[in-house]
Structure 1
């Protein structure tokens, strides 16, 4: 019966997927007018998500011309402190959308359009969906300048192509070419005993398999002894010419005795499945080693669309006294490839290894909701929050819950609740739910306060407690002093910081009039551009108010002069 179920799963996962999409290969042009060199590829494994575009290097500087990859109209403008920072979306007549992220600023026409809205809303962060005729563009038009805004680790352009359902697609499918003559690099290979009585080389735990290089650039391994249901995982990267970055690979295929049993590639995915990346990787290994290993087998609750073929969930059922050849081919988009050949001998161990079962008092089934309430702290785990049935290690002590190790992934929010009835109201106002990090330092978790109960949603296991923040944020001028003439300045820069609960909001005025200030969280600065034309008087009274996440507030006031 088990074999029939696995085969049915294989048929479903194979027949439900598309072949390589048919797309217009010469419709889009490159979005920069410099040679394309990548720091990130489509579908790369990132923290809790697949990378949804290409990260294009901008020669370690900001301000390069960003041009429309095709004609259409600006359909969305999103300006935020984090994420894509300043981002532009262009909808094209063929139904596709291109996305340009981490921008320094927009083209003059678009910049004036969005600035007007920011001042009207008195907010730096805005999200606008212009109508089709408001901001039309032609292919090759200047639409923005490259930058480093949002969650960017250095100057570059994030570029996406999305289909009509807003699913990101690999831009290389459309002819956006990057020179790549180098094959992928295979860093490591692992074997996993999966079945109840399975073993690899006499062990019931994950085993690293030594790779032996061959003259043709491929690898073989030493023979492994195994029995029962086992699977494999691989760590691999790819490099493009003219760049040293370790990028993601395009395709991984596995064969068993010459037949394809696993095949996945990165052509397209949906944002609503991106967090399922944590099912593709060996999450426990990643949490403890900060290295991602792709599993070449599929769990029962894994519904990722990136698989082309999966036979019997990618699991190899090794029978005693039989021999198997398992081969893996890793390929980049340009067709460069690297191979590994694994020889498996079915062999029962002389002494049956014991499989550790880390049982606790709290067993959570992935397809059922779970609730625990003790010592004034409660946790609610909705159905589907976990990928697998799991024994959770949960301990309560005072206002603290030790909530399992963070090497088990959480898919959707788990709710933690704390009873705060023992605390006076004035103390509660400065309290919040915190996750304790390395060294026991608390970090703010978004906290909802209702009566005697604080709640928060979490997507990472760990230790959570109640913390208190009574110190207001700091505000420090950077490029001016109180009473100073600053006629030569093009900007007004202020540094703001909060050492515990974090910055929630800020507001700046000059002579009582709102001024737009751009918050750059990576260096804790607020910047106003005098080119906005709001500051026109000679004598100017500046007022900046900054508030943290529990309501502590600081006010800075100064006078400056301009001609």
Structure 2
């Protein structure tokens, strides 16, 4: 349906179509009275019988979801024939500019469904049907369902050409197998494709240890600390023992190499951890619930992913984690450090083909100590704070006159706090937020106001009322207790900046916010809420109600109100009788919609958001475009640009 071919690749595809019998016969099967008998094995959908390779596996950690299938490499080419993996019927087709792009679902007699995504073109009668429906509904993005007697396919039929549509980061075929409950199952185990040979065990890149309560320590410190493991054969070791005390959580960056000399890695779905030969944690990702993608935030370290872009598996079951991957775990995976002896920790990893490796390290017990000689110098004269779980950590440069003590002010009361640990260069204070929310903290005549205004439980609906905004948290919006920090300021241009939480804390559901603006907005047209990140802005929309700006967000962060008066830009790539192609961009609020007409008749325009390109697709390719072409492009703020041209 969508055509990403440039002139050169399009010519190559045309030659293949003209000369290859495989393509010439690649049409849908004629209707049959019943499906083939059960027991049909899955066919590899790209050049079956030839060696294949992958760019991703099921269960792999993505930034916002578990990867639900395998990504089959197409050698960076568009237009390879995509074969039906099993016989059945096309039950659904969707066309979107994001996500899966052009995607086909084939349902099979056993109730399972295969999915083929990021396609370039649909083939056969269904392609014509989809195009006619797009014209009938006057929409390029469409989602169609079919009955089992409409578009039957036999195993091996060519149903489409591979592409790069939707949110794809490069040409490939995304392939899913879904069970009757619409859970994605692992194709490498269910299908057992002979075309894919994997002899490489998983690799461990990093190990992280983190303290799980205020009295825990790693190398005499509170927090989270990363360690590199040395490779020994197929296994990994941390040679020196790690000092530890109390309750510890282990995290790991693990990847599964997919082929020799390949830059691509998959996820590691099978992980076990033992302490002194006793199993304490077991993870087996055999299937993925595609209806709950954000559950991944409870399995990986979200804060580290946001700050560094690195995805660590948590080898413990954190609060809010309801994933069904831990059936064999005897507990929740937290390690209680033995205070009397050194403990041996072994992490075993296995991929879908059974290739295995392990990571080994030792935990040496270390009692709590205040004087930690190895603390780095604290360069700032100001105080700094961070929140981990229920604990606020404050860092300061020590001074003798205060005896290194901190004053914690909470609703008029003062609590004197000894440093949890310190040396001549740095003092670290730990405060349990369950005992109260500090208004301010003072050390050595320096003060910090954390601006943590509320403790919000995760298991109930909650409404926060503040001077600057009101927030409605629906049920299960949070994964864990939230210590909500808020702030207000203005930038150099006078734009209001509202801080609501921190972007390193995930949300499961959208929250509703009502901003109480401090400046006037007399002309509210084209005025919207944006999330800020450095110098970039993400449009969120919103509406004015009784003088307040109301909007919804599924991410915490900093928000502002901006006015967008600039219309989208339209740049002509080509316009002639064979078609029209444009680049469309908007500098602030982003593209909302576009619509084209030829002589007043609606014209289908496909859209690739990655390249900001739209192009026409005629209802009848035998009829050239002739007459007045009009294109209107509208941004999210309501600004519209219009292009008109008469095609002779």
Residue in structure 2 matched with residue 296 of structure 1 by the alignment: 315
Residue in structure 1 matched with residue 282 of structure 2 by the alignment: 263
Instruction: Return closer, same or farther for 1:78/1:449 CA change in 2, 3 Å cut-off.
Output: farther
Contact kept in structure 2, 1:321 and 1:347, CA below 8 Å? no
CA distance in 1, matches of 2:559, 2:581: 36
What aligned pairs does 1:496-535 form with structure 2 within 5 A after superposition?
496-530=584-618, 532-533=620-621, 535=623
Kindly state the Cα deviation for residue 419 of structure 1 after the two structures are TM-superposed: 4.6
Kindly state the Cα deviation for residue 257 of structure 1 after the two structures are TM-superposed: 1.5
Q: Which has the higher contact order (CA 8 A, sep 6+)?
A: 1
Residue in structure 2 matched with residue 11 of structure 1 by the alignment: none
The 3-state SS of whatever aligns with 2:132 is helix
The 3-state SS of whatever aligns with 1:117 is helix
Deviations 1:407-439 (A, max 9, x none): 1111111112235797567x2121111011222
Query: Does residue 28 in structure 1 map to residue 123 in structure 2?
Result: no
Q: 87, 94, 97: which one pairs with 1:71? A: 87
Kindly state the Cα deviation for residue 25 of structure 1 after the two structures are TM-superposed: 8.6
Residue in structure 2 matched with residue 9 of structure 1 by the alignment: none
Residue in structure 1 matched with residue 327 of structure 2 by the alignment: 308
The 3-state SS of whatever aligns with 1:402 is strand
Query: Does residue 370 in structure 1 map to residue 388 in structure 2?
Result: no
CA distance in 2, matches of 1:560, 1:216: 65
CA distance in 1, matches of 2:326, 2:235: 27
CA distance in 2, matches of 1:107, 1:324: 60
Residue in structure 2 matched with residue 381 of structure 1 by the alignment: 473
CA distance in 2, matches of 1:204, 1:422: 43
The 3-state SS of whatever aligns with 1:218 is strand
Instruction: Return closer, same or farther for 1:99/1:67 CA change in 2, 3 Å cut-off.
Output: same
Residue in structure 2 matched with residue 330 of structure 1 by the alignment: 349
Instruction: Return closer, same or farther for 1:421/1:192 CA change in 2, 3 Å cut-off.
Output: closer
Residue in structure 1 matched with residue 441 of structure 2 by the alignment: none
Q: 430, 436, 455: which one pairs with 1:356? A: 430
The 3-state SS of whatever aligns with 2:332 is helix
Deviations 1:225-282 (A, max 9, x none): 2221111111111111253212211311101211221111221021233311111111
Instruction: Pick which of 336-345 and 276-285 moved more.
Output: 336-345
Kindly state the Cα deviation for residue 196 of structure 1 after the two structures are TM-superposed: 3.1
| TM-score computed with the length of structure 1 as normaliser | 0.89
Deviations 1:153-196 (A, max 9, x none): 11000100000011111111223432111122111111111133
Kindly state the Cα deviation for residue 327 of structure 1 after the two structures are TM-superposed: 0.5
Instruction: Return closer, same or farther for 1:125/1:422 CA change in 2, 3 Å cut-off.
Output: same
Instruction: Return closer, same or farther for 1:265/1:448 CA change in 2, 3 Å cut-off.
Output: farther
Gaps of 5+ in 2: 1-37, 371-419, 422-427, 438-451, 491-495
Contact kept in structure 2, 1:26 and 1:174, CA below 8 Å? no
Q: 555, 564, 584: which one pairs with 1:460? A: 555
Instruction: Return closer, same or farther for 1:161/1:234 CA change in 2, 3 Å cut-off.
Output: same
Q: 629, 641, 647: which one pairs with 1:542? A: 629
Kindly state the Cα deviation for residue 128 of structure 1 after the two structures are TM-superposed: 0.6
Instruction: Return closer, same or farther for 1:429/1:171 CA change in 2, 3 Å cut-off.
Output: same
CA distance in 2, matches of 1:37, 1:355: 52
- Aligned CA RMSD, in angstroms, stands at 2.2
Gaps of 5+ in 1: 1-23, 481-485
Residue in structure 1 matched with residue 537 of structure 2 by the alignment: 442
Residue in structure 2 matched with residue 192 of structure 1 by the alignment: 210
Specify the structure having the higher radius of gyration (Cα). 2
Instruction: Return closer, same or farther for 1:320/1:297 CA change in 2, 3 Å cut-off.
Output: same
Kindly state the Cα deviation for residue 548 of structure 1 after the two structures are TM-superposed: 1.0
| TM-score computed with the length of structure 2 as normaliser | 0.78
CA distance in 1, matches of 2:546, 2:105: 42
Count of residues in correspondence between the two structures = 528
Kindly state the Cα deviation for residue 363 of structure 1 after the two structures are TM-superposed: 1.7
The 3-state SS of whatever aligns with 1:238 is strand
Kindly state the Cα deviation for residue 217 of structure 1 after the two structures are TM-superposed: 3.7
What aligned pairs does 1:228-267 form with structure 2 within 5 A after superposition?
228-242=246-260, 243-267=262-286
Contact kept in structure 2, 1:374 and 1:396, CA below 8 Å? no
Residue in structure 2 matched with residue 133 of structure 1 by the alignment: 149
Instruction: Return closer, same or farther for 1:91/1:267 CA change in 2, 3 Å cut-off.
Output: same
Deviations 1:258-312 (A, max 9, x none): 1221111221021233311111111111111110111101123210112232233
Query: Does residue 168 in structure 1 map to residue 184 in structure 2?
Result: yes
